[in-house]
Amino acid sequence: MPIIAQIDTPTDEERAAITAPLGKHSRDQGFVWDPAKVILALREGETIHGGLIGFIQWDWLHVEILGVGAALRGQGWGRRLIEAAEGLAGNHACRGLWLSTFTFQAPAFYERMGFTRCGEIPDHPAGQSRLFYMKRLDTVGHA
């Protein structure tokens, strides 16, 4: 009989074993889980001042992380990172991008970039909300 065990730092093999049943089920339904990593760095020599981390899966690019160092904020680097991600998404025939942020982070930035709010978890963290955004690229005027 199995038990539920917490693993603090899973190995690649443990992670693969945990995700294998979901991967098989998805494949059986015709949806192969094979995300392509997207990593864009704001690099100056050997120093990285932030960037964007995400992945492309099933014709959408998911932005997991977008961060710009304090010294570079307000200079258009976040916009340039999103535009670069949009370009990559277009090159991969993606329908759009999606991401989540928090009310204490940058929802207005994503709205200015053309993202539409499509979900919310209120009071996460306490007194704030987690917000979900999407931006279609397959509409008129886009990829």
**Per-chain mean pLDDT for the chain:** 95
**Domain extent at residue 71:** 32-136
Does residue 4 form part of some domain?
Answer: no
pLDDT category at 26 given cuts 50, 70, 90 is very high
Q: How far is CA 57 from CA 61, 92, 97, 110, 116, in A?
A: 6, 10, 10, 21, 20
Task: Report yes or no on 9 lying in a domain.
Answer: no
Half-sphere exposure of 6 (CA within 13 A, CB side): 1
pLDDT at 143 > cutoff 50: no
Q: Is residue 97 part of a domain?
A: yes
User: What are the pLDDT digits (tens) for 81-120?
Assistant: 999 999 999 999 999 999 999 999 999 999 999 999 999 9
Number of domains in the chain: 1
Residue 43, pLDDT above cutoff 90: yes
- Within 13 Å, how many C-alpha atoms sit on residue 56's CB side? 16
The pLDDT of 69-77, averaged and rounded, is: 96
Confidence band of 34 (pLDDT split at 50, 70, 90): confident
